[in-house]
Amino acid sequence: MDRARAIFPMQDRRVVITGMGVATPLGNELETFWSNLLEGRSGIGLITNFDTTDYSTKIGGEIRNFDPKPVFNNPKEHKRTDRFTHFAMAAAKGAMADAGFDLEKTDRDRFGVLVSSGIGGLKTLEDQHTALVVKGPDRVSAFTIPMLISNMASGLISMEWGLRGPNMCIVTACATSNNAIGEAWRIIKFGDADVFLAGGSEAAIIPIGLGGFGAMKALSTRNEEPQRASRPFDRDRDGFVIGEGGGVVVVEELEHAKARGAKIYCELAGYGLSGDAYHMTAPPPDGEGAARAMKMSLQHARIAPEQVDYLNAHATSTGLGDICETRAIKTVFGDYAKNGLTISSTKSMTGHLLGGAGAIELAACVLAMRDGKIPPTINLDNPDPECDLDYTAHVAKEKRVRVAVNNSFGFGGHNATLVITEFKD
């Protein structure tokens, strides 16, 4: 180990979180989002963006009354970009404001962007294909390709502030945000950048998105009770509720943050990832892949399982997924899973933001650490007998959080876990 450190001293660079921004069904301001989580409010309702008469699912976590114009310096830019990019830019602006950068004193060659999307511009694809079929190729927008490609959020965010550091997009379905944040952590530790805007966004509450997930029988059809539809770990759960929005965090090397007098929320201490190599959409029954991602993240953080105070579960409210994650948690944490670890699924309130989920859930972990309060899992009325851990049912819990774990798992067998710890100089 000592020889390895001598060869690669940059691996000891510490990484902290210094800013956060969100766009969610529970609010687009960080503190509004947080207060609604703590109060156990649901952001789920009947879908209003299009007619759902012919759909088996009619509910989702929409961001309503969202005006994309103010999120761009160029007032015309919102017309040339997809809704997922609008959410990404809004979250990035929130994170930049929260972090308090003086860009005139910042080396922008070492300021990167890694903001991703699990699907990208699905609405653009749907709209422009309709234009092609109905009106012909001459009526397809010249902006079609730039609008729909998933990397455009990262590209436009870098252009907004002239950030010329490492810039890319990772697409791993619902693990996207965690992978983006984790790879930003890795690049900073390796020494190739000092700061990143990292996270993800999604805008898939459109006809093809609802129809596609509905055809898989993945969505809840509890249309008469939208706010009670997302119910992770409950025996009566019947699928996930699709949400939209995203989150961006400022990931920064510690000495760089201290030199500019930054507010430091916490240390980003560990990152783990794995592949299930099992099935396109289902996890292995024992949750083995998820367990490996959690173990790796704790090893990187040099944290023992029994040191973890809070785990924000991926837990989407699907029959198989919630059970498999519970099994994975038991594999990693052993007896401590039942006798000390506090878990919750904030998707019970936001719905599942797909590629944007990990970032807003990491924000929830950070704020839980800041305030010593763990957000609840609402709608957990009748726990599934196979889901028998402490999921913080119904109401928030006061608890000091020194170490938190954030899980995100995606179609294709992608698993990504982040670990944050209290900052100690």
Report which of 189, 21, 23, 8 is spatially closest to residue 112, judged by C-alpha positions: 189
Indicate whether this model's pTM tops 0.85.
yes
The tens digit of pLDDT for each residue in 361-394 reads 999 999 999 999 999 999 999 999 999 999 999 9
Cα distances (Å, whole numbers) of residue 56 to 182, 198, 219, 223, 228: 36, 35, 9, 9, 17
Can you give the pLDDT at residue 1?
Answer: 36
Beta bridge partners of 270: 419
**For the chain, what is the mean pLDDT?**
96
Q: Are strands 342-344 and 45-46 parallel, antiparallel or unpaired?
A: unpaired
- Let me know whether 244 and 290 are in one domain: no
pLDDT digits (tens, 9 = 90+) for 279-330: 999 999 999 999 999 999 999 999 999 999 999 999 999 999 999 999 999 9
Would residue 224 count as lying in a domain? yes
CATH number of the domain residue 139 falls in: 3.40.47.10
54 inside domain: yes
Considering the domain architecture, whether residues 289 and 319 belong to the same structural domain is answered as yes
Q: Do 80 and 209 fall within a single domain?
A: yes
Which of 230, 259, 288 marks a domain boundary?
A: 259
188, 285: one domain: no
Which of 259, 281, 296 is the C-terminal boundary of a domain? 259
Q: Provide DSSP, 374-421.
A: E--BTT-SSB-TT--S---BSS-EE---SEEEEEEEETTTEEEEEEEE
Q: What is the pLDDT of residue 11?
A: 64
Residue 1 inside a domain? The answer is no
- Do 196 and 317 lie in one domain? The reply is no
CA-closest candidate to residue 98, choices 23, 17, 21, 16: 21
Do residue 53 and residue 146 come from a single domain? Answer: yes
**Residues 177 and 65 occupy one common structural domain:** yes
Helix (H) or strand (E) holding 112: strand 111-116
Letter string b/e over residues 169-195, b meaning 16 or more CB atoms within 10 A of that residue's CB: bbbbbbbbbbbbbbbbbebbbeeebbb
Higher-scoring residue by pLDDT: 17, 5: 17
Containing domain of residue 87, as a range?
11-259
2 in a structural domain:
no
Last residue of a domain, one of 259, 285, 319: 259
Q: How many domains does the chain have?
A: 2
Q: Are residues 232 and 292 both part of a single domain?
A: no
Question: Any idea which residues carry the catalytic annotation?
Answer: 174, 314, 352
